[in-house]
Amino acid sequence: MPIPTWITRPRLLFGSLGILALLGCTGSSYHEGPAYGELVNAIAVADIDGNGLPDILGLVSTWYGDGAAQGYVSSRLQTSSGTYVLPTRFGVGTGPANLVAADVNGDGRPDLVVADADSQTVTVRLADPAHPGYFLPAVVLATPGRTPLDVAVGDLDGDGKVDIAVAASGANNVLIFLQGTTPGTFQAPVTLPTGGDPLALTVADLDGDGHLDIAVATAADTVSVLRQFVFSPTFAAQSAVDYPTGVHPVAIKAADLHGTGKLDLLTANWGAATNPSTQGLSVLSQTAPGVFAAPVHYATDYRATALAVGDLNGDGHLDVAVACEGLSGASGAVSVFLQDATTVGSLLAPTNYPGDWGPMGVAIADMDGDGHPDLVLADGGIVVRFNTATAPGTFGPRTYFYN
């Protein structure tokens, strides 16, 4: 299956969130130059300046004329509840597809790890210890011949240091960059086999044995579950076990929907050529340690691109938000699934909140300090829909944070 266009080349946007006409000067006259475009196509939330308030990180793809230009991460620091300063930009590679904000080098500060699809690299930007909320120059990890689409982090070899796993299209395996003896440096990648071309991945202890596992969404319409792999003293990888999903899963999360202490797997599925929304969200329940049942599918808006999991209405059960880019020319939506309180692990029919340019990323976090988690969206620009305090689990109009 082909990789969705939005992953490898952002669609052009026109208007305040997208293309600006660049005017060049020739003497006293002006002429219209090549189009320049920007698109926020992934989102993360983390307290990057250490003041106890969550900040917003938008991953921005840019292009000039017909070619991709350097992308960047746009940070919006929160200075008091619901108040944000103007953005700061931190450069990454070209055609960035997804990002993680997590402490990589063990200094207690969130760092940035970015999958750069067009430049075939992974960008690591460590937090600047001298300037909270800022990042040091990039460490670039090459993935020649591969197209990185997603990244996840965790201590995969048990040495106490965080490693980087990369879903890079181009071969049926995932790339693992083990962290070296010097914090923030990484060894040449090793590969773990999967049952299809990787599109997205998550790192979590899926079987409860105290060791991290990897689940990979693939273009074969499967999730490949990798467990019990060993990196030292001799590298050995257990063969992946594949489970079916909906059509073309492009995002994956692990979460305990049933409240049993066992992690389930959820995928957002881009969809088929016809009726693509019927399998927009797939839930694979864990039935035994590291073993998953056939998927239960839920309809979303068209072309699901990302998902997030959290208790949106305060009932103690996890809910799901799915970003959906929508069909060509449409504004897409974020499909919000509240859990059915009478049937734990089951989701009610979604409420679809309209997008603007087509949501491509979603995070869940309390952005205004009212105790209710909000939706943070990559929707052309950075958009927040605040949870309604009087009706938790419902969300207000779009609030824009330009990048």
Query: pLDDT for 197-209, tens place per residue?
Result: 999 999 999 999 9
Q: What is the pLDDT of residue 286?
A: 98
Q: What is the pLDDT of residue 369?
A: 94
* Mean pLDDT confidence for 314-321: 97
- Residue 18, pLDDT above cutoff 50: no
Query: Residue 174 forms beta bridges with which residues?
Result: 192
- Residue 118, pLDDT above cutoff 50: yes
Predicted confidence band of residue 69 (pLDDT cuts 50, 70, 90)? confident
Predicted confidence band of residue 120 (pLDDT cuts 50, 70, 90)? very high
Give the global pTM: 0.91
For the stretch 200-239, pLDDT in tens is: 999 999 999 999 999 999 999 999 999 988 887 777 778 8
Q: What is the pLDDT of residue 274?
A: 65
- HEC secondary structure over the chain: CCCCHHHHCCCCCECCCCEEEEEEEECCEEEEEEEEEEEEEEEEEECCCCCCCCEEEEEEEEEECCEEEEEEEEEECEEECCEECCCEEEEEEECEEEEEEECCCCCCCCEEEEEECCCCEEEEECECCCCCCCECCCEEEECCCCEEEEEEEECCCCCCCCEEEEEEECCCEEEEECECCCCCCECCCEEEECCCCEEEEEEECCCCCCCCEEEEEECCCEEEEECCCECCCCCECCCCEEEECCCCEEEEEEECCCCCCCCEEEEEECCCCCCCCCCCEEEECEEECCEECCCEEECCCCCEEEEEEECCCCCCCCEEEEEECCCCCCCCEEEEECECCCCCCCECCCEEEECCCCCCEEEEECCCCCCCCEEEEEEEEEEEEEECCCCCCCEEEEEEECC
